[in-house]
Amino acid sequence: MNSGDFQVQKRISGGDIGEFRSLFNRYYEQLCRYSYGIISDMDAAEDIVQEFFYNLWKNRETAQPVLSLNAYLYQSVRNNSLHYLQHQIIKQQYADKVAASAEPEPDEETLLEMEELNIAIDKTLEKLPERCSRIFRMNRFEGKKYREIAEILSISVKTVEADMGKALQVFRNSLSEFTNAES
């Protein structure tokens, strides 16, 4: 063990901030360049080196002395840089998996079918009595429960149920061409 390295480690473990600052200033730029050579991202390399020094200071009292401080610094930054790369690969694989599972953009034919269906829904809503149409919109488009609709319109829940039943029957009949086409 290099006695100079041992003295530096001993002073740092004792809380000598000046010695730590000196070590930081002596190695910071070199270690950043070394990390950059591994990960090719200077901002991340600086983060890695800063985090390493932060942990070195934070764990100074429990750290075991090393034979070569220089070798320890470079090996630690190397390991942290490789860990960073592994983490980036995992993040990219996850992003690829999420992108692959995302729904594909609808084609032109599907968009036309959706437009036709929306027009048919609007026409069907126009055919319904006003209260029946309003109840259907509140339930299906606004997500309101039957009880909420009944309170808002000052009618009974049974009336809401009956009007929803009528609306659904009209929709079944009116949109049968769309449901039969899918079967």
pTM of the entire structure?
0.54
Residue 175 sits in the same domain as residue 127: yes
Boundary-marking domain end, from 101, 123, 138: 101
Residue 26 sits in the same domain as residue 91: yes
Residue 12 sits in the same domain as residue 81: yes
Read off the DSSP letter of residue 67.
S
- Non-local (6+) Cβ contacts of 43 within 8 A are none
Question: What gap in Å lies between CA 173 and CA 167, rounded to an integer?
Answer: 10
Domain holding 136, by residue range, is 108-182
Q: Is 154 left (phi over 0), alpha (psi -120 to 50) or beta?
A: left
pLDDT number for residue 180: 61
Residue 54 sits in the same domain as residue 119: no
Residue 136 sits in the same domain as residue 62: no
Boundary-marking domain end, from 101, 121, 146: 101
Q: What is the pLDDT along the chain (183 residues), one digit of tens a residue?
A: 567 888 888 899 999 999 999 999 999 999 999 999 999 999 999 999 999 999 999 998 888 888 888 999 999 999 999 999 998 888 888 888 887 776 667 778 888 888 888 888 888 888 889 999 999 989 988 889 999 999 999 999 999 999 999 988 888 888 777 666 544
Q: How far is CA 88 from the centre of its chain?
A: 14
Residue 153 sits in the same domain as residue 78: no
Residue 178 sits in the same domain as residue 154: yes
Residue 143 sits in the same domain as residue 172: yes
What's the structural domain count of the chain?
2
Residue 84 sits in the same domain as residue 127: no
Residue 88 sits in the same domain as residue 157: no
Q: With the CA atoms of 26, 32, 38 and 44 taken in that order, what torsion angle do they form, in degrees rounded to the nearest 10?
A: 150
Closest CA to 39 of 6, 101, 87, 4: 87
Buried (b) or exposed (e) across 6-22, using 16+ Cβ within 10 A? Answer: eebbebbbeeeeebbee
Question: What gap in Å lies between CA 74 and CA 179, rounded to an integer?
Answer: 67
Boundary-marking domain end, from 66, 86, 101: 101
CATH for 69: 1.10.1740.10
Residue 19 sits in the same domain as residue 64: yes
